[in-house]
Amino acid sequence: MSLDVVNDIIARKRDGGELDEARLRAFVIGVVDGSIPAYQASALLMAIVLRGFSPSETLGLARAMVDSGKTLDLSVLGRPVLDKHSSGGVGDKVTLVLAPLVASCGALFGKMSGRGLGHTGGTLDKLESIPGFRVRLSQGDFVRQLERIGVAVVSQSERLVPADRILYALRDVTATVDSEGLIAASIMAKKIASGTSAVVLDLTVGAGAFMQTVAQAASLGALCRLIGDSYARKVTCVYTSMAAPLGRSVGNRLEVEEAWEVLCGGGPADVREVVLALAAALLPLADLGLDGSEARARAERALDGGQAAEWFERWVAVQGGRFRPGEFHRLACDEITAGRDGWLSSVDARAVGHAAQVAGAGRRRVDDEVDPAAGVVVSRKPGEAVVAGETLARVHARSRDLRAAAALLLRDAFVIADEPPAVCPMVLGRD
């Protein structure tokens, strides 16, 4: 593509104009084939963030991104394949529970997932904390595994939506992540290309999430549904709270252990509630003939009766993992304690996420290594009574310096009040 054409596209958006699908498609093609240099692509991304992106532009970009690479055809399975995407948060181990739960209820769950960046954890990092677990499968093996056991979670294929991989890397280093249109196009292009029939979006809201209000989340959800509708894909949005960390564990293997507790019918009540809400939204999109209340009841029985846990063990074994609950090297920990008696009013989810990242559980750059055993375990949740000197959290890290640095971030993360606080519900709505 000539530089004059690229400059025209950049200038049009800079001046507040709308980009038609032909211009967006030309831009995406140039990004993928390398004819548009990174500095020009970054200039357009910044213009989009500053000038805004209309629904029609969002749809046009998503279409161009889908067509930038291969698409996976799962129609050979003859059944709907369900998927779930989360907008991110702290302690979000929901996929580890939801994937085998959905399969144990009789539906197919197939997901191509990414790695964590920043204070939010990635599902692949959690799965890879299980020794031997293989996140890379060929497309053929992915389909065969879905046929065999009804569940597969794998790394994103580099052949699917290559434009997203390039553009996301640029957005990450140019402060252009915060755009609803760019986010919606990125999410949905990957879901469309991966071939799934229906998706539930877990759009998190609160201090530990990207979006601070339900209104913001609903606006993003509307764009995602617009894209899904254009491809005849069913999209349901569930809005969940990320005002505090989800569950008690933040860190890769620590979260696997907590997910196992939920799969066995126990675990933190907030994780269970989010999982059941998503299952109730997802299972009716399958071919099981269930409505929302029937779907939730079936999911509850699968958790409490042990079927979901059995499916998790089967899934892990088929993908090469060796999982035995509690059998991993626990790192030394430092404790954060309560300074006085009272009621835990709030826990700064973002601070907890950053502390886990500093401890070694997260990454600042995509190519950073993570420590599978590092992280933070929160001992008390908002609404619970505490006494002076009681442990509020434990930081697990491989060195004393890392533990100290992470603990410093947690010093002001726990707010203690004289009266019990009003506790926010976990599920804030759906559409």
Contact 368, 312 (CB under 8 A): no
Q: Which two tokens stand for residue 154?
A: 């794998």
Section 382-389 average pLDDT: 96
The mean pLDDT of the chain is: 94
Q: Which residues are catalytic?
A: 85, 164, 171, 186, 190
Assign 10 to helix, strand or coil: helix
Equal CATH topology for 3-52 and 75-318: no
pLDDT recorded at residue 158: 82
**What are the helix (H) ranges across 105-213?**
123-128, 139-149, 162-173, 180-193
Instruction: Name the pairing type of β-strands 151-155 and 333-337.
Output: unpaired
Domain ranges of the chain: 3-52, 75-318, 333-417
Residues 268-321: tens digit of each pLDDT = 999 999 999 999 999 999 999 999 999 999 999 999 999 999 999 999 999 999
Q: Taking the C-alpha atoms of 115, 118, 119 and 121 in order, what is their torsion angle to the nearest 10 degrees?
A: 0
pLDDT recorded at residue 117: 54
pLDDT band at 1 (very low <50, low <70, confident <90, very high): low
Residue 267 confidence (pLDDT) above 70: yes
Residue 51 confidence (pLDDT) above 90: yes
**Domain made up of 3-52: CATH architecture:** Up-down Bundle (1.20)
Tell me which of 3.40.50.2020, 3.40.1030.10, 3.30.70.260, 3.30.950.10 is the CATH number of domain 75-318: 3.40.1030.10
Please tell me the distance from the alpha carbon of residue 158 to that of residue 1, in angstroms, as a whole number.
Answer: 23
Superfamily holding 333-417: Pyrimidine nucleoside phosphorylase-like, C-terminal domain (3.90.1170.30)
pLDDT recorded at residue 48: 97
